[in-house]
Amino acid sequence: AQSVTQLDSQVPVFEEAPVELRCNYSSSVSVYLFWYVQYPNQGLQLLLKYLSGSTLVKGINGFEAEFNKSQTSFHLRKPSVHISDTAEYFCAVRSGYSTLTFGKGTMLLVSP
Amino acid sequence: EAQVTQNPRYLITVTGKKLTVTCSQNMNHEYMSWYRQDPGLGLRQIYYSMNVEVTDKGDVPEGYKVSRKEKRNFPLILESPSPNQTSLYFCASSLKSGAVNTEAFFGQGTRLTVV
């Protein structure tokens, strides 16, 4: 079975500060990893994905994530956040032919 | 424009009154699924469908039914809604479950309140 743990339910940060949203996963086989963003009153939008190859993955809106197999992590980072980045972020994992499993989400709160 | 369309966006109903939430995608995707989102619990899969006439239970299927008679449509049916089914529901589609470059496309969500 696969699972995803997002350790922080909320991350408050000031505008222009760097941010890291943590994601750890468990799976017994090779995994595909995703980060989705949900803006208020909207559906989920794909930020970035790791399928294979380079462990550093760049996504939209200046976000990036690094796949660390030994630590089973896929943390999301942005060097300088904007007010408009305020949203809920979901890490998700899929292994083999299984379905997508989501973490419980991290609410990023950016204040001026 | 490629999209997943859910209707209605908002629904308030009474306990026991059957309802259907529709979901349609225009990307010719084989795989479709339904999730419910609750505070502190993230998204949990209700049902999924690998293709037409092929459906299977997800993690929280109790109280729900689905059907997949056409590739583009995947309605979610609540035969006898109860207050614990008050939630935000999302439909999603993807090319196929096993494809390595598969990403899921989500609808805008349906906020259901059962009183």
Percentage of chain B exceeding pLDDT 70:
96
Instruction: Say which range, A61-75, A94-108, B71-85, has the weakest mean pLDDT.
Output: A94-108
Q: Does B90 touch chain A (CB under 8 A)?
A: yes
Instruction: Over range A69-84, report the average pLDDT.
Output: 95
**Which residues in chain A are closer than 8 Å to B101, comparing Cβ atoms?**
51
How far is the C-alpha of A61 from the C-alpha of A64, rounded, in Å?
Answer: 9
A80/B98: higher pLDDT: A80
Give the pLDDT score at A31: 83
Mutate to test the interface with B, among A104, A106, A107 (most CBs of B within 10 A): A104
Give the pLDDT score at A1: 75
Q: Do A99 and B98 touch (CB under 8 A)?
A: no
Mutate to test the interface with B, among A30, A50, A99 (most CBs of B within 10 A): A99
Task: Find out whether A31 and A95 touch, Cβ atoms under 8 Å.
Answer: yes
Mutate to test the interface with A, among B106, B108, B111 (most CBs of A within 10 A): B106
Give the pLDDT score at A19: 98
**Which residues in chain B are closer than 8 Å to A104, comparing Cβ atoms?**
40-42
Residue B100 reports pLDDT greater than 90 = no
Give the pLDDT score at B40: 86
B11/B100: higher pLDDT: B11
Residue B99 neighbours by CB under 8 Å, 6+ apart: none
Give the pLDDT score at A16: 97
pLDDT category of residue B101 using cuts at 50, 70 and 90? low
CA–CA distances in Å: residue B33 to residues A54, A96, B104: 30, 17, 9
The DSSP annotation for B22-66 comes to EEEESS--SEEEEEEEETTTEEEEEEEEEETTEEEE-S--TT-EE
Task: Report the DSSP beta bridge partners of residue B82.
Answer: none
pLDDT, chain B, mean: 92
pLDDT category of residue B64 using cuts at 50, 70 and 90? very high
**Which residues in chain B are closer than 8 Å to A100, comparing Cβ atoms?**
33, 45, 92, 104
Residue with tokens 């993955």: A57
How far is the C-alpha of B11 from the C-alpha of B86, rounded, in Å?
Answer: 10
Give the pLDDT score at B96: 72
Give the pLDDT score at A63: 97
Other C-beta atoms lying within 10 Å of the C-beta of residue A92 = 26
Integer distance in angstroms from the first to the last C-alpha of chain A?
Answer: 41
Hey, what's the torsion of the CAs at A70, A75, A80, A82, to 10 degrees? 170
Give the pLDDT score at B99: 58
Residue B98 reports pLDDT greater than 60 = no
Q: Do A104 and B58 touch (CB under 8 A)?
A: no
Give the pLDDT score at B97: 59
